[in-house]
Structure 1
Amino acid sequence: MHGQRASVIERRSIDVVPDAERHGTPLNQFTLWFGANMQITAVVDGALAVVFGADALWAIIGLLIGNLAGGAVMALHSAQGPRLGLPQMISSRAQFGVYGAVIPLVLVVIMYLGFAATGTVLSGQAIDEILGTQGTSVGIVVFGVLTLVVAILGYRIIHVLGRIATVVGLVGFIYLAIRLFTKYDLSSLIGQQPFAIAPFLTAIALGAAWQLTYGPYVADYSRYLPRSTPERTTFWATFAGSVIGSQWSMTFGALVAAAAGDAFMGSQVGWLGQLGGGGAIAVAIYFVIVIGKLTVNTLNAYGGFMTMLTTVSAFTRTDRVRSAARAAYIFVFVAVSVIIAIAASTDFLNNFKNFVLVLLMVFTPWSAINLIDYYLISKERVDIPALYDPDGRYGRWNAAALTAYAIGVLGQIPFLAQALYTGPVTTWLGGADISWIVGLLLTGAIYYPWARRTARPPAQMIYPPAVDATRSEHG
């Protein structure tokens, strides 16, 4: 382990992590992302591929393609963490400008609030089943408190929770898979429908979109790794953990949807408890659900806090906050997500989730711009002190990134296939959603040639003086 013994409560926020505080191995990235994806919402995501009309076999193949494609983009963001030592969204200032980065940041906060709220509802149901408090808001509040505590404790405890979720998720989902295979004749449910391109492309989109949503905060959990950690190792550890965990859960979900259909979609938590066998075993399954959801909900709360602080600090020119202020940011985020979860009727919640899914289109252009700039334009050279200075190298607004981003978002609209809106091209394609592909390619095609002419990356990485001094002492 590197450096000094750290306190239980994390002190760092959006500032650079000094070498003296770096620790861990890429294996921690595998367990965190594997555990975060062995959870009920990923199961539901896989089930949706079948609900939307795909045969179970083609749904599983489509989900795999989507997870592989989206997972590669997500892991490329993760690989930035050890070198930069920064939360993910701070690095967006190198592309968008210190003020310009606020635009995607605000949308990111709204999205993570949505995911946190919907996850809190499902987890609250599981806790209510355990406590016997069905029909109340007790489970939602209890889960909110658990999320708050872990998110405030921060990075180290989040990784510990990821390791626990990996073990618990493996045991729980292997048991549920065995129960599913023994209770249903799954072989008779596979290959019942012919291949159809629209639901197949939708399955790919479900898998890709799932992975792409991690992009804005994945480096938050790799930034403490020693600076000498090879990018390739970080990439593959994150990629493998996220893709294997997601694909496992989604495959299970596709098979569940083929076997149970409306019975599962009507009561996901209760149905899994009954599949487990009811009684004490059902309670154990509910614990598996809570631990898996707690892992990913903590990521939402922690990433949401980082994003909120990044937004505010653009105007305050600060790079760190006191522990009390840090806890206050997290409390506000969790409290709002709990209030939404409590207030939400079933219809409202479904509409809110659909709204959140529409917001997915803000991620693909952001990912394209961030990755193209970091790996192809700046070539992994960032002036970190300038990220906190509106008058520095990156300025307040960056026309190339903001224009490419706006066109990348708007260009996806005709290709959307969401409950709130279906684009004309999507209708022509029979309902297939390929908006994420359009978002990546269109944004990249505009941003890359423009940024090549206008970007002013430093000749080498520039760290704050205090970090450079620490590097000399420990490197």
Structure 2
Amino acid sequence: MTEHEPAPTSQTLAIETRTIDVVPDAERHGSPRSQFTLWFGANMQITAIVDGALAVVFGADALWAVVGLLLGNIAGGVVMALHAAQGPRMGLPQMISSRAQFGVRGAAIPLVLVILMYLGFAATGTVLTGQAINKIIGTDIPAVGIIIFGTLTAIVAIFGYRLIHVVGRIATVAGVVGFTYLAIRLFTEYDISAHIGVVPFSAPTFLFAIALGAGWQLTFGPYVADYSRYLPRKTQEGTTFWSTFAGSVIGSQWSMTLGALVAAVAGDAFLGNQVGFIGDLAGPALVAIALYLVIVCGKLAVNVLNAYGGFMSVLTTVTAFKGRTQISQVSRALYIIGFILISMLIALLASAEFLTNFRNFVLLLLMVFIPWSAINLVDYYLVSKERIDIPALYDPNGRYGAWNVPALLVYAGGVLVQIPFLAQTLYTGPITHLLGGADISWIVGLVVTAVVYYFVAKRTSCPPDQMIYPAESHMNDLNANN
């Protein structure tokens, strides 16, 4: 089978055996086009619509909200796609590479935050998707839809990489058809022009829209390479970058633009019942059910990424202290099921005041992941210059050590430096007041962390002269453990 041929059904439905170990060249497959469909499909979904709506809900005019969201998606998409480009060269999940910056065990600190991110996104997405499933089957019991969606997520995540990409392709087709239909219905049912350009430009709300778009993209950073690591090692970084960037930015901007317009014309009708409003907008009952299925499909595509990435992050954390790289397929399934059960419990407990909670959640994640992204990208592209000692990533006594204190201090400083610039419900920084409420914390965190880390790492890092891969015999040992 060549790298461009689709996988046979038997391979697609085989449970993946690779976890946090290097993917050998013999198992590499696919093309960068798969990154486009995966990330396009994962962003054509109801939570992205809600994210776009938030820009209008919190005061922006629909036109300026769309422009701000686009700028944020582009800026965050660049960072996100730079992470994706690391996958084919290293053949590793994203967060394992953090050990090169923070140490084999020190990487557990940002990993804990990553796991919380996966749980949060999985839970918030499950709330909305559970509502859509309940609409389809005709029940008002929230737990029913949540349990069904959790089960679907577990099945796909357990099978792993190949099936995840298949779901992404299905979600891409469903999303294009469903969201195009929704846009047509929106423009025929409402006078869109009467709701655009009616609110004066406001710098704080415009910057908030940019932050929403950027935050959406940046939170993909910790797991985007998980889904490009099987691409052949010779895959050009540029093609991986642009395929991922285009899929994620186009898909998210499409959804967020629809959300901004819906919020502008619908107001409280959308705020109180996001999924129900989409169903009503669809029209006839059968069409509404089809749209609910589109919602389920899009959310399944992204929720599987959360469960799969959450499992990878938990395993990366555990193995940093236990020294193993492989687990049995039963253990793999139990990890994933346990993660999904926790996210379902959160979904049941946190469904009230969804919009406000989701806004605060996105902005909080932006605060803690900006410094991680800055450190990872500066180290990989500017300090190590794409030269990683991969075997040392699994050895706390190796090149990268157990704890890289200077990098961890820079990371902590990158989080703290944002506090005066925050604009959140629980806390608004003093500089934010001077800026009229504009939240630029993510820009400050990105720039300051990148600059400080670069000078610190140039003094403390010791990258190899070239990329070091595991010996073939070591690869065979890993295969035997699967």
Structure 2 CA distance, aligned partners of 1:404 and 1:74?
21
Q: Distance in 1 between matches of 2:152 and 2:359?
A: 23
Of 42, 46, 53, 1:47 maps to 53
Q: Distance in 2 between matches of 1:121 and 1:345?
A: 6
Q: Which residue of 1 aligns with 2:440?
A: 434
1:79 aligns with 2:85: yes
Equivalent in 156, 170, 190 of residue 184 of structure 1 = 190
Shift of 1:8: 1.4
What's the counterpart of residue 479 of structure 2? none
- Residues 71 and 242 in structure 1, CA contact (< 8 A), matched pair in contact too: yes
| 2:75 counterpart residue number | 69
AA at the equivalent of 1:331 = I
1:399 aligns with 2:405: yes
Taking the aligned partners of 1:292 and 1:328, their CA distance within structure 2 comes to 25
State how 1:22-421 maps to structure 2 within 5 Å. 22-347=28-353, 350-351=356-357, 354-355=360-361, 357-421=363-427
Deviation at 1:65, TM superposition (A): 0.4
Alpha-carbon distance, 1:344 to partner: 3.0
SS in 2 for 1:216: helix
Corresponding residue to 2:23 among 5, 14, 17: 17
Structure 1: gaps (5+ residues): 471-475
Alignment: residue pair count = 470
| TM-aligned CA deviation for residue 355 of structure 1 | 4.4
Give the equivalent residue in structure 2 for 1:422.
428
Conserved 8 A contact 1:413-1:423? yes
Inter-partner Cα distance in structure 2 for 1:189 and 1:157: 42
The structural deviation recorded for 1:135 is 2.8
Contact preservation (8 Å) 1:118, 1:349: no
8 A contact 2:215–2:362 mirrored in 1: no
Structure 1 residue 339, shift from structure 2 partner: 1.3
> TM-score under structure 2 normalisation?
0.95
RMSD (Å) for aligned C-alpha atoms: 1.7
Distance (Å, rounded) in 2 between the aligned partners of 1:227 and 1:156:
18
Within 2, Cα distance between the matches of 1:356 and 1:281?
32
Q: Is the contact made by 1:2 and 1:21 (CA closer than 8 Å) also made in structure 2?
A: no
State whether residues 24 and 475 of structure 2, in contact with CA within 8 Å, keep that contact through their aligned partners in structure 1. Answer: no
8 Å contact from structure 2 (residues 216, 362) kept in 1? no
How far apart, CA to CA, are the structure 1 residues paired with 2:2 and 2:161?
A: 15
Give, in angstroms, the shift of residue 467 of structure 1: 7.6
For residues 257-280 of structure 1, the C-alpha deviation after alignment (integer angstroms, 9 at most, x for no partner) is: 111012111110000000000411
Q: CA deviation at 1:348?
A: 8.2
**In structure 2, C-alpha distance between the alignment counterparts of 1:137 and 1:266, rounded to whole Å:** 19
Shift of 1:356: 5.7
Matches of 1:454 and 1:103 in 2, distance apart? 20
Kept in 2: contact 1:355–1:420 (CA 8 A)? no
Q: Residue 15 of structure 2 aligns to which amino acid in structure 1?
A: I
TM-score scaled by length of structure 1:
0.96
The 10-residue stretch of structure 1 (132-141 or 117-126) with the greater mean CA deviation from structure 2 = 132-141
CA distance in structure 2 between the partners assigned to 1:170 and 1:88 by the alignment: 29
Contact kept in structure 2, 1:118 and 1:353, CA below 8 Å? no
Counterpart residue type for residue 455 of structure 1: S
- Taking a change above 3 Å as real, the CA distance of residues 468 and 231 of structure 1, as seen in their structure-2 partners, is farther
What secondary structure sits across from 1:456 in the alignment?
coil
- Runs of 4+ displaced beyond 3 Å: 1-7, 347-353, 467-470
Q: Which runs of 5+ in 2 are unaligned?
A: 477-482
How far residue 343 of structure 1 moved from its aligned partner, in angstroms, is 2.9
**Per-residue CA shift, 1:332-387, capped at 9, x if unaligned?**
10010011112335148954763464133111000000000000000000000000
* C-alpha displacement of 1:136: 3.9
> Deviation at 1:415?
1.1
- Between the aligned partners of 1:356 and 1:54, the Cα distance in structure 2 is 18
Residue 435 of structure 1, CA deviation: 1.0
C-alpha separation in 2, matches of 1:283 and 1:348:
23
**In structure 2, what is the Cα distance between the partners aligned to 1:447 and 1:158?**
35
- 1 CA distance for matches of 2:131 and 2:85? 36
> What is the rounded CA distance, in whole Å, between the counterparts of 1:469 and 1:337 in structure 2?
34
Q: How far does the alpha carbon of each residue in 1:110-135 deviate from its partner, in whole angstroms, 9 at most, with x for none?
A: 11101101111110000000011113
Change (3 A) 1:416 1:278: farther
What secondary structure is seen at the aligned counterpart in 1 of 2:221? coil
Task: Check the 8 A contact 2:131/2:142 in 1, yes or no.
Answer: no
> After superposition, what is the alpha-carbon deviation per residue over 1:19-74, rounded to whole angstroms, capped at 9, x for unaligned?
11100100000000000000011001111111111111111110000000000000
CA shift, 1:425, in A, is: 1.4
